[in-house]
Amino acid sequence: MENKKIEILLIEDNLKDAELTIRALRKSNMNNHLIHLKNGAEALEFLFGTGKYEGRNISNKPTVILLDLKMPKVDGFEVMIQIKVNESTKSIPVVVLTSSKEASDIERAYLLGANSYIVKPVEFEEYMKVVTDLGLYWLLKNQLPVYINKQKS
């Protein structure tokens, strides 16, 4: 796992939503380098090489993080705070993918450094399209700074 480049880090506690997201990305051939973590605590351990991920090569960073907000243990807001205050992770794009339409959640996410905020569609086909479009944009169209591109090669 740690020698392969990580393109997508999916942080999602709802297994049904995670499966739909992975399915949509697989359908578009964008799930080859995807890691799914089930809560914020596990995500922080993974990103910073602590706990059960101690010894992981933390220079292997994801191209994009898909982050749910409402999770047990450590919520998505706290995960984003830790990502954005850390010099080694703050440049990783974070896309909030959540069911919350609350204006306060949207505002807080952007204030904490979210690069995008997407409300999960309820309809299956729309969900699949949104995730596919999201993957195409962040993996194929978005231009990353040179120093991030170097670590991916």
pLDDT tens digits, one per residue of 31-85: 778 999 999 999 999 999 999 999 999 989 999 999 999 998 899 999 999 999 9
Displacement of CA 3 from its chain's centroid (Å) = 19
Is a pLDDT exceeding 70 seen at residue 146?
no
pLDDT band at 1 (very low <50, low <70, confident <90, very high): very low
The b/e string for 67-104 (b: 16+ C-beta within 10 A; e otherwise) is bbbebeebbbbbbbebbeeeeebeebbbbbbbebeeee
pLDDT at 2 over 60: no
Domain boundaries, the chain: 8-140
Query: Sheet harboring 116-119: ordered strands across?
Result: 34-37, 8-11, 64-67, 94-98, 116-119
Which pLDDT tens digit goes with each residue over 98-140?
999 999 999 999 999 999 999 999 999 999 999 999 988 988 8
The third-level CATH classification (topology) of the domain covering 8-140 is Rossmann fold (3.40.50)
Average pLDDT over residues 131-150: 78
pLDDT score of 153: 45
Mean pLDDT of 140-152: 65
